Amino acid sequence: MEVCVVGVGYVGLVTAACFAHIGNTVVGVDDDREKVQRLLQGEVPIYEPFLDQVIAQAVNEGRLTFTEKIEDGVRSCQIIFICVGTPPLEHGEADLSSVETVVQRIAEVAEGHKLIVEKSTVPVQTGFWVDRTLQLYGQKGTAEYDVASNPEFLREGSALEDFLHPDRIVIGVEMIRGTFSCPIHQKCPQAGNVPFLVTNMASAEIIKHASNSFLATKISFINLIAALCEKVGADVSRVAEGMGLDPRIGRAFLNAGIGFGGFCLPKDLQAFVRIGEKHGCDLRLLKEVERINEDQINVFVEKLRERLWIIRGKTIAVLGLSFKPNTDDIRFSPALEVIGKLLKEGATVKAYDPKAMAKAQHVLASVEFCNDPYDALDGADAAAIVTEWDEFKRLDPSRVKQKMRRPLIVDGRNILDPEEMRSLGIEYCGIGR
Ligand SMILES: NC(=O)c1ccc[n+]([C@@H]2O[C@H](COP(=O)([O-])OP(=O)(O)OC[C@H]3O[C@@H](n4cnc5c(N)ncnc54)[C@H](O)[C@@H]3O)[C@@H](O)[C@H]2O)c1
């Protein structure tokens, strides 16, 4: 198949690379000239495990190309995946202006039959507007369109694995005129057992927002329980373990900590609340989920304050800048908020992250970026663990103790063993334990 992917960011680049990897011919389109130039020069602008290798192979084998010109992709391909960003506007609703721009351009240049697939996370009823825009701006008589929704569930950090071995594939359609089948199902033998759910457009659009809102709810729920655990001498990690053994609950996403960030959960939760309001439905449970999550940053900074007494003038090593491990993505990362608060209070911040330093340097002034975790810990009055990178799980406690001015660790991801730390003379504070 010839597939066009518009918007080659975290989702689009993985989509383009994986579709090419399984044998399709793919054109990746992006209006960011610098990004396209870097890709054409063989540089991968984001960090995602194995992505560089998969792209290099597909490009070398002539199955993956990149362009700024949407017309090149649209004219040569029958299937067009829209993967542009849908960032939050001021009040949390999704900004769909990039989606509209792309759809208008497709309508202007398309000829023949095209299947337009929305993969970006969009509010319910976007499919209706995509279809309408194609009809309104299309060249009369020269093109015919089908519109489908195919929400993406990949997780940054394991995006290729998730894309090629998904736990479900959801397709939303009103009516398909041509004959199409799912490329993943066709090409990946393992995908044979993957549930393939076909719904109408509205249901597919809701599935994505509802899924992310549910995951966010699990995280805020366990953070609420963590607060109670601290008051009564319980350990939230053990509580989560006990709860998670019930298959109706499950252990995933019951990790107490500094809260969720990234380009999906916070914005999708907000957008879903706004969608509810627009349709006269008060999704009040989700408003509370959001409030609890925002509070976690204060809870974390408060833990530092309780132990440091005065934050002004203290040196704090922040370990982790990306919103989760195995990615360089710092969008809506809790680390940025924590650092902002610490700097505002007059702390000196030394930061280290295995992959996100380059991106963080663009947005964080007044932070000392360090070469490794021990460099960040050198002379620090406290260490704040914000991202659960494996590298931080393997820190050598005796080196940590020797490097720090005061061996105090506030562990926002509960990745270290409290007993071990304390037995080695390190003051340790986690969340809910
Ligand atoms: N990041 C994730 O983990 C994830 C997972 C599932 C779904 N999603 C959803 O997928 C969508 C994309 O997310 P992302 O993280 O890849 O965002 P991103 O910002 O990394 O990528 C978006 C890309 O679209 C390009 N773009 C914007 N307007 C364009 C236009 N008019 N023409 C061509 N290209 C254009 C941008 O230059 C950028 O490269 C969002 O709706 C997001 O909610 C993201």
User: Average of pLDDT values for 391-403?
Assistant: 97
Q: What is the pLDDT of residue 4?
A: 98
| Domain assignment present for 348 | yes
CA of 382 to the centre of ligand 1 (A): 36
86 and 222 together in one domain: no
155 and 106 together in one domain: yes
Structure-block tokens of residue 17: 């690379």
With the most atoms of ligand 1 within 8 angstroms of its CB, the residue from 46, 84, 328 to mutate is 84
Categorize the per-residue pLDDT at 239 as very low, low, confident or very high, splitting at 50, 70 and 90: very high
Q: What is the pLDDT of residue 183?
A: 58
Q: What is the pLDDT of residue 139?
A: 76
Q: Which residues are catalytic?
A: 264
84 and 171 together in one domain: yes
Range of the domain at 376: 212-429
Instruction: Answer yes or no: are the C-beta atoms of 225 and 432 closer than 8 Å.
Output: yes
Instruction: Answer yes or no: are the C-beta atoms of 390 and 416 closer than 8 Å.
Output: no
Report which ligand 1 atom has the smallest distance to the Cα of 46: 20
- pLDDT above 80 (res 230): yes
182 and 217 together in one domain: no
| DSSP string over 284-307 | HHHHHHHHHHHHHHHHHHHHHHHH
| Domain assignment present for 401 | yes
Instruction: Answer yes or no: are the C-beta atoms of 328 and 47 closer than 8 Å.
Output: yes
| Domain count within the chain | 2
Which of 141, 168, 199 is the last residue before a domain boundary? Answer: 199
Which of 156, 174, 199 is the last residue before a domain boundary? Answer: 199
232 and 355 together in one domain: yes
305-316 pLDDT, tens per residue? 999 999 999 999
In short, whether 3's Cβ falls inside 6 Å of ligand 1 is no
In short, whether 263's Cβ falls inside 6 Å of ligand 1 is yes
Q: What is the CATH number of the domain that holds 52?
A: 3.40.50.720
Categorize the per-residue pLDDT at 423 as very low, low, confident or very high, splitting at 50, 70 and 90: very high
255-307 pLDDT, tens per residue? 999 999 999 999 999 999 999 999 999 999 999 999 999 999 999 999 999 99
Structure-block tokens of residue 347: 């702390």
166 and 134 together in one domain: yes
Distance CA 390, CA 387 (A): 9
In short, whether 102's Cβ falls inside 6 Å of ligand 1 is yes
175 and 235 together in one domain: no
Q: What is the pLDDT of residue 192?
A: 64
Nearest-CA residue for atom 10 of ligand 1: 120
In short, whether 158's Cβ falls inside 6 Å of ligand 1 is no
334 and 192 together in one domain: no
Nearest-CA residue for atom 39 of ligand 1: 9
Q: What percent of the chain has pLDDT over 90?
A: 94
| Domain assignment present for 88 | yes
- pLDDT above 80 (res 319): yes
In short, whether 9's Cβ falls inside 6 Å of ligand 1 is yes
| Domain assignment present for 206 | no
Q: What is the pLDDT of residue 142?
A: 85
With the most atoms of ligand 1 within 8 angstroms of its CB, the residue from 30, 89, 265 to mutate is 30
| Domain assignment present for 261 | yes
Q: What is the pLDDT of residue 199?
A: 96
In short, whether 386's Cβ falls inside 6 Å of ligand 1 is no
Q: Which residues contact 265 (CB under 8 A, 6 or more apart)?
A: 212, 215, 216, 219
Distance CA 30, CA 13 (A): 10
Q: What is the pLDDT of residue 193?
A: 79
22-40 pLDDT, tens per residue? 999 999 999 999 999 999 9
CA of 349 to the centre of ligand 1 (A): 31
| Domain assignment present for 205 | no
Q: What is the pLDDT of residue 141?
A: 73
Question: With a threshold of 0.85, does the pTM exceed it?
Answer: yes
User: Average of pLDDT values for 336-356?
Assistant: 98
- pLDDT above 90 (res 318): yes
141 and 165 together in one domain: yes
Instruction: Answer yes or no: are the C-beta atoms of 392 and 355 closer than 8 Å.
Output: no
H helix runs in 141-245, sequence order: 159-164, 183-187, 201-232, 236-244
Which of 138, 168, 199 is the last residue before a domain boundary? Answer: 199
In short, whether 8's Cβ falls inside 6 Å of ligand 1 is yes
- Residue scoring higher pLDDT (105 or 142): 105
CA of 274 to the centre of ligand 1 (A): 20
164-194 pLDDT, tens per residue? 999 999 999 987 555 555 555 555 555 567 8
